[in-house]
Chains A and B, each alone.
With several copies, the nearest count.
Chain A
């Protein structure tokens, strides 16, 4: 199949544009998206094509998020930009108490096709209020599907699914990945939710990860391969639902599990994966399950401190040493 190289940001735009062409009720809005194509340029690819469906808003997060419910129930398919995952908190109730509950509270009367999307995670030296990864919260509270892709090909296929299904979805796009390039099939395709991707097959240790940490883990795996340690790197791609089967089968094979995420280690989503795996594959585990995550403090502005707080390849390598191989 023919493929083209494109950035993560452009892969998203391509998916949205294709679907906008088919479905005139898709529109997108948020802060700073229409004039300059998003604060990370992530909307640039859409500008000029559907300008009446790419809309700037005031700084009013509670309405930005809550409006999605009204828009969906009025018969449209809104894609809402949240600007920074950190500012999901400024309209949090509209998400947790409205978007995530109204279908259930109504007894399932109608579909609620909403996409919340935006940048999650570290952006260098942006300090405590602009570098949080908060996807774990949406795995805990029920009511939204959680997508957290690591490559242009994945983000394209997952958007195509998101834009053709009936439920609220939140897409965490990592700030540092918008410019990352990769090959994407020229033909349209969808990637189902709940299907992990084994980014690298291996035999010694299963690594479960997402987003930017997929790449850090892959680098660690490449290095470890030189010393004869074989990592199987599983990219979950979606956290709600998450692919238990692929993870558990891998752990049954390797006997070892390391979970790697950028968000805080304490009570992060890795804890859920660890809890389920130790329950379902107890007899297969040769070692404890280890987790890599950010240190449990807010992010510091000072560069060295940020590097220390935020996990990367080095932390993966260090943690692997704990396994009794």
Chain B
């Protein structure tokens, strides 16, 4: 596959954006500025980046509790994202959703989701509507975790997508853990992609830390699905470099394991590739990181300056004909 230098740098920047956002979010969480709990996408940036780049604005995705990366890759404004993490008024969900429920329908993000595997049935329904009623060539990408692949919803959604031949790419982010539980223990197969056979669909496993591999595979898969191939299960092997949530004591794994995995993390991996190709040098690299540090600093400033929604506004948005809690 021939990918221009510009595209490669664009992809690199997207990963840097996500990483920068996540690092700032982590810092501000520890600072007690961000309430609730947040799950970081650090180490998994290549997946959202490499896949979503092939999507159109009107393509749809469903995300997970670890959803910042998906949102940013789909074009979200870091300002409005950060404002949402802060629970502020102009955040994507007016502060009602927070990190775990960040979403924007105009961007085609049908929701980060606090329910593990909660997005899979939603993706199945979007695919159904597209294929059977709207008859457009939109596609749907459903992101979910290795842990999620053990929930019944996974099974039902894949069977469903298969029998109706829906335009859905099921992307499992195999980051080795479901909270404290290692997938070697809780998941009966080494490769989730092996489950594809049980639905008579194609299953593919790629190195999810290798941006190029993700990007190239996704190009093929998404175009096939858009052309009516039926659903595909795409497994991306990665590693959750941070705790399950910010503040996780991580008693269930050794520091050494994590340290080792840092050597394989997607951004420096891709940097090495770009540098080998002479597409990137230290100077440009520094420029790019500075650029996104600034972008995120501005987002932070924006979020901090934004006001909180009023208490009473808690009683709006449940129904379109708002009658609030008296309803």
Report A's interface with B, CB cutoff 8 A.
Answer: 24-25, 27, 29, 31-32, 35-36, 39, 52-53, 55-63, 65-76, 78, 86-87, 90-91, 93-94, 97-98, 102-111, 124-130, 142-143, 145, 165-167, 240-241, 295-298, 300-309
Contacts and interface: CB of A to CB of B under 8 A. Distances in A.
A241 B105 contact: no
A243 to B, nearest CB: 12
Interface in B101-160: 101, 103-106, 110-111, 113-118, 120-130, 132-134, 138, 140, 147-148, 150-153, 156-157, 159-160
A268 B212 CA distance: 54
Nearest to B115: A97
Nearest to A55: B132
Contacts of B130: 74
A302 B132 CA distance: 38
B3 interface: no
A223 B323 CA distance: 34
Contact of B115 (A24, A57, A98): A98
B100 interface: yes
Interface of B: 35-37, 60, 62, 87-88, 91-98, 100-101, 103-106, 110-111, 113-118, 120-130, 132-134, 138, 140, 147-148, 150-153, 156-157, 159-160, 163, 178-181, 185-187, 249, 251-252, 308-321, 323-327
Given A303-B35, A303-B308, A308-B314, A127 B101 contact: yes
A36 B318 CA distance: 37
Given A126-B114, A304-B309, 16 more contacts: A27-B133, A29-B128, A35-B180, A57-B160, A59-B147, A63-B124, A65-B121, A69-B110, A69-B121, A70-B110, A71-B126, A74-B138, A126-B37, A127-B101, A241-B323, A301-B101
Given A58-B147, A58-B187, A59-B150, A67 B97 contact: no
Given A62-B152, A107-B95, A303-B35, A67 B122 contact: yes
B97 A301 contact: yes
Nearest to A52: B132
Contacts of B151: 59-61, 90
A62 B156 contact: yes
Nearest to A91: B121
A307 to B, nearest CB: 7
A297 B97 contact: no
Contacts of B124: 63, 66-67, 70
Contacts of B160: 57-58, 60, 63, 67
B186 A56 contact: yes
A240 B134 contact: no
Given A70-B128, A108-B94, A301-B95, A127 B114 contact: yes
Contacts of B118: 66, 93-94, 97-98
Contact of B314 (A27, A125, A297): A297
B243 to A, nearest CB: 10
A166 B101 CA distance: 21
Given A59-B116, A97-B118, A297-B324, A106 B97 contact: yes
A70 B6 CA distance: 34
Contacts of B178: 31, 58-59
Contacts of A129: 100-101, 113-115
Contacts of A128: 96-97, 101, 114
A303 B98 CA distance: 10
14 contacts: A58-B178, A67-B121, A69-B110, A74-B138, A105-B103, A127-B96, A130-B100, A142-B318, A145-B319, A165-B320, A167-B321, A295-B325, A296-B325, A309-B314
Contacts of B123: 70
Contacts of B157: 63
B115 A74 contact: no
Given A60-B159, A104-B318, A106-B111, A305 B311 contact: yes
B257 to A, nearest CB: 14
Given A59-B178, A124-B36, A167-B320, A107 B96 contact: yes
Contact of A107 (B97, B132, B185): B97
